[in-house]
Amino acid sequence: MCDAQLTEKLLGKQVVFPGKIIRLEHWQVELPNGGQALREVACHPGASAIVALDDEDRVILVRQHRIAVGRLTLEIPAGKLDSPDEDPFLCARRELSEETGLTAEHWQKLTCMETTPGFCNERIHLYLATGLKQGDCHPDEDEFVAVTRMPLGEAVARVMDGTFRDGKTALGILMAASLRASDHSNE
């Protein structure tokens, strides 16, 4: 099947809920067969997330309670773009500093992931940060996190055994480990 036989055409949008973090919209679309359908889309400004590795190849993680899933999680530092136009790299630097107190000398873009394309347009920009220097944490006033360090190999094992279920954390850790493995094979 060619792309034209799969592509929907946007006919119109209506805001249903103008939330603080997401905006829920109804999108009327024309289907490839000429019919019409309603799509509910959660609109999100985007985010950045950071796999920060220290000089001992330990990944920096933040433990926090996520009420939506009802448990404490270990995740890579991340945060929402202040606006859809914000530079994702500037957001990544800000979030790493806010949540961990760290700054990084070296940055590398890993990828941009689409978290749940079936109903949400959120994109998370993933970065690798190395050459870390410790400063003071300054999380948002409604953000409570504890910083921990874990060997990269252990973090990969936790992704593979299903302990780390957060998509950005899993993808970021696996990409960083792959890069580290190829760096070591080129030495």
Decide if 94 contacts 77 (C-beta within 8 A).
no
CATH number of the domain within which 173 lies: 3.90.79.10
For residues 66 and 157, membership in a common domain is answered with: yes
Q: What is the pLDDT of residues 86-118, one digit of tens each?
A: 999 999 999 999 999 999 999 999 999 999 999
For residues 36 and 64, membership in a common domain is answered with: no
Q: What is the pLDDT of residues 26-69, one digit of tens each?
A: 999 999 999 999 999 999 999 999 999 999 999 999 999 999 99
141 among known catalytic residues:
yes
For residues 53 and 22, membership in a common domain is answered with: no
For residues 71 and 28, membership in a common domain is answered with: no
Choosing from 56, 105, 141, 187, the catalytic residue is 141
In the chain, the number of structural domains is: 2
- What is the pTM for the complete model shown? 0.92
For residues 39 and 129, membership in a common domain is answered with: no
Burial of residue 42 (number of CB atoms within 10 Å: 0-12, 13-18, 19+): middle
For residues 54 and 93, membership in a common domain is answered with: yes
For residues 14 and 89, membership in a common domain is answered with: no
Decide if 70 contacts 64 (C-beta within 8 A).
no
Q: What are phi and psi of 22, to 5 degrees?
A: -125, 155
For residues 73 and 162, membership in a common domain is answered with: yes
For residues 167 and 133, membership in a common domain is answered with: yes
How many residues make up the chain in this entry? 187
CA atoms within 13 A on the CB side of 116: 8
Q: Which domain holds residue 130?
A: 47-185
